[in-house]
Amino acid sequence: MRANLCATVITAAAVVSIAAPGVAQARTASTGSIVEYTWTSDMVQNQISYTGTNGKLVTREARFRYLPIGFGPEKFGYGVKIRTTKSQRVQSRATSSGAFSTCVVKVNGHQVASNRDYFSGMSRC
């Protein structure tokens, strides 16, 4: 039973990646939702973009922190947590100067998007 559950979760994640290979689908968070954006990369310095508290796009350079439990290319990570002030789209992007990046978006603790890129260094959620 446990093996079947794991296979289902992996399949669902793969479908999300295939359905939106480079373009974020419209995902929304209602007023007062807690939105968590997390990114990992193979480099310390990265550019991140995400939808902020007021629904506006925030873009900035971020210095990721070393992940002592990181494995493979996931050596550095960064996260932002916001509370929405209105119903809004949630989306995210990370651009690494290296070759690897991931992004994960959670709304009220539930993962709504994730993406992992091993070649261009740009992940979009």
- With beta carbons less than 8 A apart as the criterion, state whether 97 and 48 touch: no
What local confidence, expressed as pLDDT, does residue 121 receive? 84
Domain boundaries, the chain: 2-124
Q: Is the pTM above the cut of 0.95?
A: no
Q: Which of 44-48, 49-53, 67-71, 113-117 has the lowest mean pLDDT?
A: 67-71
Question: Residue 24 and residue 44: Cα distance in Å, rounded?
Answer: 24
The tens digit of pLDDT for each residue in 85-125 reads: 999 999 999 988 888 999 999 999 999 999 998 888 888 88
